[in-house]
Amino acid sequence: MTETNLTFRLYKDNDTTPLPWNKDVIKIGESYICPTYIHRTPPCQASCPSGHDIRGWLSIVRGLDKPPKDMPWEEYAFQRMTKSNPFPAVMGRVCPAPCQDGCNRNEVENFVGINSVEQYIGDWAREHKLTFPKPEKETGKKVAIVGGGPAGLAAAYFLRLRGHSCTIFEEYSELGGMMSFGIPGYRVPRDVLKYEVDRILDMGVEVKLNTRVGKDIKIPELEKEYDAIFWGVGATSGKALPIPGAEAPNCVDGMVFLRAFNEGRLQHLSGRILVVGAGDTAMDVAAVARRIGHISQINEKDRPENVLLGQAVHDIATAAQRQGGDVWIVYRRPISKAPATKHELDAIIEEGVEIHESLAPLEVIRGEDGRATALRVQPVNWVNGKMEPKEGEEFNIECTMIVGATGQKGDYTGIEELDNGWGLIDADKTYQVKSKQGHFVAGDAVKPLLLTTAIGQASIAVEGIEKYLNGEEIAARPKVDTHHFNLLEELQIHNLEPEEYNHKQDWGTNESKFAVHNYEDRSFAEVIPHEQLFLAHFPYEARNLRDEVDMSPEKVLSNFNERFSGLTEEKVKAEANRCMSCGMCFECDNCVIYCPQDAISRVKKDKHVMGRYVETDYAKCVGCHICMDVCPTGYIQMGLGQS
């Protein structure tokens, strides 16, 4: 073979001088660089704490990724969706959707309504009684799961998928954790939650309710009986307000308040309720307080604090005398800086909750009986992120109850060895408990965040448990740590996986059947920004919004109807079609249409799967870059020939 027959090389042997820069760019409409297909992570997925393959299941909804055989598309989307999160119906309702904040569609007009599509799939799965598969093979390994909230239940799900036996130890009489007692039922209907919890248990999960680890069973006993321990104990206690007088009996934390309501013990309030804080817990407390309302005449035994402390249960007949609650949010920062989800904040304002911002709590004023009668506050200014008190302008806000919602911590009675001193558990980046081999943790016990964060952490922790049980080293996590679309899995689903490689030297490998050609997966390391998309391809399309119930101040009392009604199938598909499929081909045909050399063509129908829609004839390609320029999703990059 002579040198002239060799494939073009950027450099020859023994070259030491770089080529002139004009050789690296297009010249008279041609270059030596040909297109290749690069898969990157979309920002919606990178913004999702549970690592949802959002683009993947939206592609199924819109009909790009076809289900195998006669499977309904909803079932196929459910399978893809629950690879990363087993609670689609719950999350579609309550997740604050950081994925939507990261959506590149925001650069066109407005984000894709990811939550609404997720709710539809979750509800369809429930209506059609979809279940999770039981493991084909049991490993014989046993894992103890302490806590039956979102982290613990997710851990059980991911462990059972791998064939490991697991037992959930739950302190209370029901599972669900924050999903059960921390979120009101009008946001998470209890029948929806029960179905999604039971679906996990039906995989073969053992449950021991009313069992507190550290009291009813000790850590050494668990370590002796189980091969690994997962801690999902959450942060179920609110932090006391750090001001004098906060020990008043009617000064309670938000978690106690919400638990009493969700357990049916708290039926009414009296007088003005002050909610200190502006996070999502504060929003839930305020919304509940508006709904259950207040009564003007109240017996001593029926005081709300007695109910919250477990000393009484409200009489429904008495509660019938109530009126809409007088509820204030007191926040030391401007309300525009509130950490709460914007929609939840807007909703409580619409419902009649008063917002009092830039007020720093100083002291709980107490009466002769020790109960709080007012909250003393001081107006403040915020300059360059620093709080500047307005001296001499302090005043009292009269109230009958103060609910603190300024932070959470865990209860480590009996398991003090795990407490890092802040009511949390220290863990490394793979969610191993520091200095305790075989112990793993996820969720609010690490740091109180979102439900979806707890689920994502549980997934990572279970991967670590898998390595630990197999005696393997737990490796560092990838830069972009999500449940990525996998082209090889996609090919296998449709029986198009590459042939087995015989590991022998071969010529003409561009035609070989043992590899996926001209495709590079960078999803583990790169998130595709909007700058790499051809945004002009996408016309303005308004979002398909879920209908929301009218919750004006006049209608809020006793209104525990679910806030959102789900989209129809037609609107779900229309909303999925708004997805720009960032970092993955969505079969628009731009590259086929605009290639001046007819070098790009569609693959044969029997070879077509998601991610394998077009191919390039490199004998025709002149490297003009047009295909890359008109690719809406950034999937095409001119790279072939540079190495």
More confident residue, 441 or 639: 441
Residues with Cβ within 8 Å of 317's Cβ and at least 6 positions away in sequence, in order, are none
Per-residue confidence (pLDDT) for residue 509, from 0 to 100: 60
Per-residue confidence (pLDDT) for residue 189, from 0 to 100: 92
- Which range among 231-240, 283-292, 545-554 shows the weakest confidence by mean pLDDT? 545-554
For the chain, the straight-line distance linking the first and the last C-alpha, in angstroms and rounded, comes to: 21
Task: Indicate the pLDDT class of residue 1, thresholds 50, 70 and 90.
Answer: very low
Per-residue confidence (pLDDT) for residue 320, from 0 to 100: 44
CA 139/CA 163 separation, integer angstroms: 5
Task: Indicate the pLDDT class of residue 264, thresholds 50, 70 and 90.
Answer: confident
| C-alpha 317 chain-centroid distance | 40
Residue 521, token pair as written in the block: 């997966």
- Write the DSSP string, 21-58: GGGGS-BTTB-S-EEEEEE-B-HHHHH-TT---HHHHH
pLDDT over 90 for what percent of the chain? 71
Task: Indicate the pLDDT class of residue 434, thresholds 50, 70 and 90.
Answer: very high
Residue 443, token pair as written in the block: 């969720």
Instruction: Return the sign of the alpha-carbon dihedral for residues 402, 405, 407, 412.
Output: positive
CA 279/CA 342 separation, integer angstroms: 10
Q: What is the pLDDT of residues 597-609, one digit of tens each?
A: 999 999 999 889 9
- Which range among 12-16, 61-65, 115-119, 636-640 shows the weakest confidence by mean pLDDT? 12-16
C-beta neighbour count of 233 within 10 angstroms: 27
H-state helical runs in 88-226: 88-94, 98-102, 114-127, 150-161, 190-201, 219-225
Answer whether 380's CB lies under 8 Å from 332's CB. yes
Residues with Cβ within 8 Å of 295's Cβ and at least 6 positions away in sequence, in order, are 268, 270, 318, 319, 321, 322, 323
CA distances 147 to 168, 207, 213, Å, are 6, 10, 9
- pLDDT higher than threshold 60 for residue 45: yes
CA distances 179 to 19, 148, 259, 414, 549, Å, are 62, 10, 11, 25, 22
CA 616/CA 34 separation, integer angstroms: 9
Task: Indicate the pLDDT class of residue 14, thresholds 50, 70 and 90.
Answer: confident
Per-residue confidence (pLDDT) for residue 504, from 0 to 100: 75
Task: Indicate the pLDDT class of residue 234, thresholds 50, 70 and 90.
Answer: very high
CA 257/CA 404 separation, integer angstroms: 10
Per-residue confidence (pLDDT) for residue 519, from 0 to 100: 87
pLDDT over 70 for what percent of the chain? 90
Q: What is the pLDDT of residues 121-155, one digit of tens each?
A: 999 999 999 999 999 999 999 999 999 999 999 99
Task: Indicate the pLDDT class of residue 75, thresholds 50, 70 and 90.
Answer: very high
More confident residue, 557 or 45: 45
Q: How many residues does the chain have?
A: 643
Q: Which residue from 235, 582, 201 is spatially nearest to 442, judged by alpha carbons?
A: 235
Which DSSP state fits 246? T
Per-residue confidence (pLDDT) for residue 268, from 0 to 100: 72
Task: Indicate the pLDDT class of residue 236, thresholds 50, 70 and 90.
Answer: confident
Per-residue confidence (pLDDT) for residue 294, from 0 to 100: 60
- pLDDT higher than threshold 90 for residue 13: no
- pLDDT higher than threshold 60 for residue 629: yes
Residues with Cβ within 8 Å of 426's Cβ and at least 6 positions away in sequence, in order, are 420, 433, 434
- Which range among 30-34, 197-201, 297-301 shows the weakest confidence by mean pLDDT? 297-301
- Which range among 1-10, 135-144, 591-600 shows the weakest confidence by mean pLDDT? 1-10
Residue 546, token pair as written in the block: 């879920």
More confident residue, 305 or 292: 292
More confident residue, 303 or 363: 363
Q: What is the pLDDT of residues 607-618, one digit of tens each?
A: 899 999 999 998
Q: Which residue from 102, 108, 113 is spatially nearest to 58, judged by alpha carbons?
A: 113
Per-residue confidence (pLDDT) for residue 543, from 0 to 100: 95
- Which range among 27-36, 404-413, 619-628 shows the weakest confidence by mean pLDDT? 27-36
- pLDDT higher than threshold 80 for residue 327: yes
- pLDDT higher than threshold 80 for residue 443: yes
pTM: 0.88
- Write the DSSP string, 313-346: ---HHHHTT-B--EEEEE-SS-GGG--S-HHHHH
More confident residue, 576 or 435: 576
Task: Indicate the pLDDT class of residue 8, thresholds 50, 70 and 90.
Answer: very low
Per-residue confidence (pLDDT) for residue 500, from 0 to 100: 82
Within 13 Å, how many C-alpha atoms sit on residue 91's CB side? 31
List, in order of start, the domains of the chain with CATH numbers.
39-129+484-636 (no CATH), 142-236+410-469 (3.50.50.60), 239-407 (3.50.50.60)
Per-residue confidence (pLDDT) for residue 305, from 0 to 100: 63
More confident residue, 129 or 558: 129
Per-residue confidence (pLDDT) for residue 144, from 0 to 100: 98
- pLDDT higher than threshold 60 for residue 319: no
- pLDDT higher than threshold 80 for residue 67: yes
Task: Indicate the pLDDT class of residue 11, thresholds 50, 70 and 90.
Answer: low
Over range 404-410, report the average pLDDT: 91
* Residue 371: Cβ-neighbour burial (10 angstroms; 0-12, 13-18, 19+): middle
Per-residue confidence (pLDDT) for residue 508, from 0 to 100: 59
- pLDDT higher than threshold 50 for residue 485: yes
Over range 210-217, report the average pLDDT: 97
Over range 244-254, report the average pLDDT: 93
Q: What is the pLDDT of residues 98-110, one digit of tens each?
A: 999 999 999 999 9
CA 3/CA 453 separation, integer angstroms: 57
Please list the residues that pair with 328 across neighbouring strands: 274, 354
CA 423/CA 416 separation, integer angstroms: 9
Q: What is the pLDDT of residues 529-543, one digit of tens each?
A: 999 999 989 999 999
Q: Are strands 165-169 and 206-208 parallel, antiparallel or unpaired?
A: parallel
- pLDDT higher than threshold 80 for residue 312: no
Across the chain, mean pLDDT equals 89
CA distances 284 to 54, 182, 291, 329, 557, Å, are 27, 8, 11, 11, 15
Per-residue confidence (pLDDT) for residue 270, from 0 to 100: 83
- pLDDT higher than threshold 90 for residue 118: yes
Over range 425-439, report the average pLDDT: 95
- pLDDT higher than threshold 60 for residue 474: yes
